[in-house]
Amino acid sequence: MSRIISIANQKGGVGKTTTSVNLAASLAAYKQRVLLIDLDPQGNATMGAGIDKHQCKTTVYDVLTEKQEIETVIVSCDKAKIHLLPANGDLVAAEVELMQEIGRETRLRHALQRVDSEYDYVIIDCPPSLNMLTVNALVASDSVIIPMQCEYYALEGLSALNNTIKQIAKLINPKLKIEGILRTMYDPRSSLTNAVSAQLRKYFGNRVYRVSIPRNVRLAEAPSHGLPALMYDRNSKGSVAYLALAGEIIRKAKEKSEEQQQADAGQ
């Protein structure tokens, strides 16, 4: 079974798409089978993974509206060594169409069941709002990674998203939880950064990743070349940080699996 992780934060400009693309490529570098899903009508994750969104004849829109089966829409990103469910501006129409449909919150979850055994990880890049597309992602997911900058207003947005996750877990998807808090555009020289980091650790404990993502020119340049940072400059600070994040996620998953096996053996 694949682990499905949404990258979500309703605040824009916190590094959701950068995290989605680079985490997917980094997991693939660890020999994991990865599907990246672009759920943002801007299609930035699609372009960042090396696929021209303007050339896509079918997208995640066709999957959500049940015009196409998911396996016919998935494309291969050879340089990043991942598979992609692309998006473009067509996705704007999906939300309008879904509002009239019964079971609209579960469209993506049902579609992913068709390819569940083919991937180790499914990474979903959510739009910067708590709309029907984000709800579809959260209903389909096992967990959520929340990228955030260490600034005061980010804490307020985090509270709202945390409440949404709790509501969806209560009403539709009881397994949904916060996978981790990822500090992005991190500057350890800033006293505000350190103060916010301390608050995050106080409330979320070990769910705050040990890895933080620094401000990095190479990370910003890579999307314009249609490449994850790992393929653009493997030795850049950004690439190294995302590789470390992927390693931390894989290690934690292994530890949880071993704990579960021990618990099952003890019953």
What one-character-per-residue DSSP string does 108-135 give? Answer: HHHHHTTSGGG-SEEEEE--SS-SHHHH
Strands (E), 132-259: 143-149, 177-184
Listed residue (200, 207, 210) closest to 158, CA to CA: 200
Mean pLDDT of 190-204: 91
- Res 258 pLDDT > 90: no
Listed residue (176, 106, 180) closest to 141, CA to CA: 176
Residue 266 binned pLDDT confidence (cut-offs 50, 70, 90): confident
**Helix or strand holding residue 75 (H, E):** strand 75-77
Q: Candidates 3.30.465.10, 3.40.50.300, 3.90.480.20, 3.40.718.10; correct CATH number of 3-266?
A: 3.40.50.300
C-beta separation of 49 from 36 below 8 A = yes
Residue 11 binned pLDDT confidence (cut-offs 50, 70, 90): confident
The predicted model scores a pTM of 0.95
pLDDT at position 152, please? Answer: 79
Q: Which pair of structure tokens corresponds to residue 177?
A: 């939880």
Give the type of residue at 167. Answer: Q
Residue 58 binned pLDDT confidence (cut-offs 50, 70, 90): very high
